Structure 1
Amino acid sequence: MLKKSNLRGKNLALLLALVLTFSVVLSACGGKNNEGSGASSPSASASSKPSESASASPSETASSSPSASSGDIDPSKLPEYKLKIVWEGPPQKDEEAVEAKINEYLKGKINATVDLAPIDWGQWDQKMNLMIASRQDMDVVFTAQWNGHANNVSKGAYLALNDPKGPQGNLLEQYGKDIIATLDKAFLEGAKINGFNYGIPTNKELASQAGVIYRKDIADELGITDQLDKVQTVADLEPILQIVKEKKPNITPLFFAKGENFNAHYFAQHDFLGDAYLDGLLRKDLDDSKVISRFEDKGYMDQLQLTRKFFKEGLINKDAAVTQLGTQDAMKKGNVFMVTSQLKPGKDAEFGNATGLAGKLKQINIGPRTVSTGETAGAMLAVSSTSKDPARAMMFINLMHSDKYLNNLVNFGIEGVHYEKISENRIKPGPKAADYNPGVAWELGNQFLNPTFETEAEDKWDQFKIFNEGAHPSPALGFTFNVEPVKSLAAVLVNIRSQYADAVESGSVDPSKADEWYAKEKANGLDKVLAEKQKQLDAFLAFKK
């Protein structure tokens, strides 16, 4: 059996890949979950059957590596197709101008154009659920383990991308060769559900750490920077936020957005084994493999009490349970002192560039670095089962992982307009940076293709590698729960969560409401879901020995 000590101080990505090979073999023994799979030919568009289950010119810019898949594609033999690209993030003023530039380039690659369709953070869950339920046409869709991925897979929302028996065969193998060549196997193996990939993970950091990002310029003005440098726990923030409230009454001391609070999975150290919207977890920072409910975790319940205290003291925005703003948009408004965040090296600089506050933000790491299968599936691009040309969608995702020009055009806009080059791999904001700055490069393809801003460390990507080393592994590292056996119960439990989570976890209501939430889950099959999660996990762990 692989021991925890063997994972520390080494290349975690390589060792994670080793652990995950056991998961692949085990999944292969368990059957399929791909009734909704479908792909259209690159030479002709075809409708997918709905599941019954659930400024350099383009000509001067070369791809970052030779692309076996894109290089073999003759765009003149493909009918023109418009790809609808949906991701979670704020819509941008210059979206149409960037679309035009993308289209100019993409036609010569895969004879496609794009309709960029970002959905703001606070509206994502509701809108995406409606789009999936109504079978709206989409092509490339952002998804993640922490925002309902496994449950949406059970609904047939996304295609299995590596199914050789799919209508058009293995899409990843046919049109994603650059992904296979460049993406660490740990990501692809860790993101599988029942042996199949329903999303292609972003090439980024593997480990995870909780913390906060704050306005250092305001902290310096108030003389509280030294106090902030000593913060080690959430409780340590209380007196600091009280000072901000007293001395800066027009500033929100701490802003919570939907799912971004002290009880988010990354703060609570919860490994939900496949979908953070479905109860049943292990703690990533411990070594116990017993699957429990969130309500059985004393650390989580204690944090609810502390969060409620902060809320009653006026340290948190009053609309925390219902706000449609994301933390990025809130910070951009200039009247917020601190937000919670899942951290990585340089997240404060990255956040500063996205909010127009470059050089004014600083992060505080709170809690241990951990890694679970959830991190491998923490940001992915899926192909919708409603896509009329899944092959073209897969080609686009492959380019986002291999084509530096396209990736940076989507993420940062037009050179000389939205950003300016300082050197080959260093940039600074351009004259219209505020009009196109999505700030979601971690969602879209391959971060290692991205330049660094002048306010970021030049060795940012090397820091990512160091960050991964020594992270505490979840006891379930390599395991992803297959929701299919309990998908009807899971759908009900996810709906119940949506009725309580935002209010309870933001401190907006008394923590006693958690008891009501728990009771309702228990009455609607929670124990059966926990038992199924435990059964599958036990089988996985036994196979590993």
Structure 2
Amino acid sequence: MKNVKGSISTLVCVMLSLVLILSACGSSKTATPSTTPALAATDTAATPEATPEATPVPEKELPPVELIWYYPQPKAQADLKAVNDEINKITQAKINATVKLMPVDFGGYEQKLNTVAAANEAIDIIWSSSWLFSYVQNQGKGAFQPLDDLLNKEGKVLFDSIDAKFWEDMKIGGKIYGVPNYQISAKNPGLYVQKRFIDKYNFDVSTVKKFEDIEPLLQKIKDGDAKDGIVPFGVVQGFFDEPYYNIDGTPYANVYMNDSTNKVLNRAFMPEFKQYLTMVRSWYTKGFINKDAATITGQVATDPKGERAVIYDVTGKPGGEIDIQAQNGGNPVVFIPLAKPYFTGASSTLNTISHTSKNPERAMMFLQLVNTDKALYNLITYGIEGKHYTKIDDKFIKLTPDSTYNPTTDWVFGNTTNGYLPEGAPADKFELTKKVNDAAAVSPYYGFVFDPEPVKTELANTKAVSDEYSFALATGTIDPEKYLPILQDKLKKAGVDKITAEQQKQLDEWLKTKAK
């Protein structure tokens, strides 16, 4: 096994969900090839120029229906109803359906959707992911409908518009349960630093190769700008770089990169994690990190007053500087990459059809529309032209300052390459996105899906233990020298070793199957 222990400079792969132990991915077995031969994908993902328009309404008359769509957002949008009304003008004309948008704050999304699912509410479309309202876990509970037949009929144009490998990532037990939102699908971790502080302190960003290298700038900001309400390093419930492949989308199963033994390890017991916790604790005690980091919810980049001088971003997508600038009070930023990108698949953002949907065919028609109809996609993403933005040309738009509709979550709604480009974004943003997706290294464990059913009791127990400590440790709020051993001891008593053994068993079996 290659020795990657030691400096955090070795950390090259990133998690967006920042807890020690997350709830397990669902109860499905290892993904297998689809048994639906009629589905055939194109070789490349759609671009704004190449995306086919959705198929017209079938000749047979469709009865009117209302579709309910749950998805997360950073904050409430005052003009949601006005935008929703305009959306329904399009959907009524094309598929004779209205859509009731049901956005939920990111911080409350998991709890809200768990409540909705437990109540068996009749809803139609649910946004899901590998890190929030888990796709695999909730499919294992029967929350979503299989989509293969629907994609072969009502969603054929949608299916053909997205690269085949993204649909592969949607398969659980050989069936597709989600529609991937095409976006950047490679982790390119790094730091966004507000340019005003780089200029003020004449800081050379080329010197930053690892987290520790940004400390001199953080100290200067702490000494010179904290009195004005500036937080040197803005954190929301933690951040972490990993020197290993996370093989199932949770912290449960990890394998060091270049480890030919394929040994599964739990993050809480890895030396790199303790080293990370020690660094973060140091930053917290020095006053670099916001004191509410362990309890604040939402997105890391949401900072309307521009009070966070430096933030960490897991994705580092092309054109991301413009997005972060729009979210931090309009302050220009510089992106500093910390690692080479590697492909993470499509499960970070997707939409599903609920098992309680009374109109799954129409729900698929809508998902096809929002992924292939540029007018509809841009309406839900940017709002109403002339009110929430103005067009510069056919490609670029200027967002209205202090707009009453600007969700800043294009990746929640559908294929991002159908969107306009905000003023200042690179003209070739979508081409760069596809280039990064295609060139990013692919984990040798891509496609492995852990079945937690044999250890579901232990998983529930270890999650309960983790919930006591995860955010406090990951943000430096409590001392890892004291509390990490307590966490490890409680995890052992809760059955973490049994979980790891089961993961190893399943991974070994999967590797044998893959080798054939």
* TM-score category, normalised to shorter length: 0.7 to 0.9
Counterparts in 2 of 1:34-53, with a 5 A limit? none
| Partner-residue secondary structure (3-state), 1:135 | coil
| Aligned equivalent of 1:223, options 198, 201, 207 | 201
Partner of 1:340: 312
CA distance in 2, matches of 1:367, 1:175: 41
Give ranges in structure 1 of 5+ residues lacking alignment. Answer: 1-23, 32-61, 163-169
What is the number of equivalent residue pairs in this alignment?
Answer: 470
Relative to 1, partners in 2 of residues 1:286 and 1:442: Cα closer, same or farther, differing over 3 Å? farther
Partner of 1:389: 359
Contact 1:411–1:444, Cα closer than 8 Å, also in 2: yes
Contact 2:67–2:363, Cα closer than 8 Å, also in 1: no
Task: Choose between structure 1 and 2: higher helix proportion.
Answer: 1
Q: Deviations over 1:142-195 (max 9, x none)?
A: 211123332222222222222xxxxxxx22222221221011111111232222
Partner of 1:253: 232
Relative to 1, partners in 2 of residues 1:77 and 1:122: Cα closer, same or farther, differing over 3 Å? closer
Q: CA deviation at 1:86?
A: 2.1
Q: Counterpart amino acid of 1:527?
A: D
| Partner-residue secondary structure (3-state), 1:338 | strand
| Aligned equivalent of 2:112, options 127, 132, 139 | 127
Q: Deviations over 1:380-405 (max 9, x none)?
A: 11222233322222222221221111
Partner of 1:508: 477
Contact 2:222–2:288, Cα closer than 8 Å, also in 1: yes
Q: Counterpart amino acid of 1:406?
A: L
TM-score normalised over the length of structure 1: 0.79
Partner of 1:540: 510
Contact 1:496–1:520, Cα closer than 8 Å, also in 2: yes
| CA RMSD after TM alignment | 2.7
Partner of 1:108: 93
Counterparts in 2 of 1:162-201, with a 5 A limit? 162=148, 170-201=149-180
Partner of 1:304: 277
Q: CA deviation at 1:418?
A: 1.0
Q: Counterpart amino acid of 2:279?
A: L
| Partner-residue secondary structure (3-state), 1:65 | coil
Give ranges in structure 2 of 5+ residues lacking alignment. Answer: 1-27, 36-48
CA distance in 1, matches of 2:58, 2:328: 38
Q: Counterpart amino acid of 1:416?
A: G
More deviation in 362-371 or 299-308? 362-371
Q: CA deviation at 1:476?
A: 0.6
Q: Are positions 1:65 and 2:39 aligned together?
A: no
Contact 1:139–1:386, Cα closer than 8 Å, also in 2: yes
Q: CA deviation at 1:236?
A: 1.0
Q: Are positions 1:463 and 2:437 aligned together?
A: no
Partner of 1:321: 294
Q: Are positions 1:367 and 2:336 aligned together?
A: no
Partner of 1:427: 397
CA distance in 2, matches of 1:283, 1:208: 17
Relative to 1, partners in 2 of residues 1:464 and 1:113: Cα closer, same or farther, differing over 3 Å? same
Q: Are positions 1:273 and 2:247 aligned together?
A: yes
CA distance in 1, matches of 2:123, 2:485: 39
Q: Counterpart amino acid of 2:213?
A: D
Q: CA deviation at 1:320?
A: 0.6
| Partner-residue secondary structure (3-state), 1:435 | coil
| Partner-residue secondary structure (3-state), 1:97 | helix
Q: Deviations over 1:403-440 (max 9, x none)?
A: 11111111111111111111111111136x52111111
Q: Are positions 1:292 and 2:265 aligned together?
A: yes
Contact 2:201–2:220, Cα closer than 8 Å, also in 1: no
Partner of 1:90: 75
More deviation in 380-389 or 502-511? 380-389
Counterparts in 2 of 1:129-144, with a 5 A limit? 129-144=114-129
Q: Are positions 1:449 and 2:423 aligned together?
A: no
Q: Counterpart amino acid of 1:214?
A: V
Q: Deviations over 1:32-51 (max 9, x none)?
A: xxxxxxxxxxxxxxxxxxxx
CA distance in 2, matches of 1:284, 1:72: 50
Q: Deviations over 1:449-500 (max 9, x none)?
A: 1121221110111212332354333231222223344344434434443332
Partner of 1:38: none
CA distance in 2, matches of 1:426, 1:30: 39
Q: CA deviation at 1:270?
A: 5.4
CA distance in 2, matches of 1:137, 1:100: 22
Q: CA deviation at 1:285?
A: 7.6
Contact 2:154–2:365, Cα closer than 8 Å, also in 1: yes
Contact 1:199–1:380, Cα closer than 8 Å, also in 2: yes
Counterparts in 2 of 1:512-531, with a 5 A limit? 512-531=482-501
CA distance in 1, matches of 2:245, 2:424: 33
Relative to 1, partners in 2 of residues 1:223 and 1:411: Cα closer, same or farther, differing over 3 Å? same
Partner of 2:219: 242
CA distance in 2, matches of 1:132, 1:285: 41
Relative to 1, partners in 2 of residues 1:526 and 1:75: Cα closer, same or farther, differing over 3 Å? farther
Q: Are positions 1:118 and 2:103 aligned together?
A: yes
Q: CA deviation at 1:280?
A: 2.0
| Partner-residue secondary structure (3-state), 2:223 | helix
CA distance in 2, matches of 1:471, 1:145: 19
| Partner-residue secondary structure (3-state), 1:423 | coil
CA distance in 2, matches of 1:29, 1:334: 47
Q: Deviations over 1:113-152 (max 9, x none)?
A: 2222222222233333333333344322221112333222
| Aligned equivalent of 1:205, options 181, 184, 199 | 184
Partner of 1:55: none
Partner of 2:6: none
Partner of 2:62: 77
Q: Deviations over 1:478-530 (max 9, x none)?
A: 22223344344434434443332211111111114233333333323322322
| Aligned equivalent of 2:143, options 139, 149, 157 | 157
Contact 1:87–1:141, Cα closer than 8 Å, also in 2: no
Q: Counterpart amino acid of 2:145?
A: L
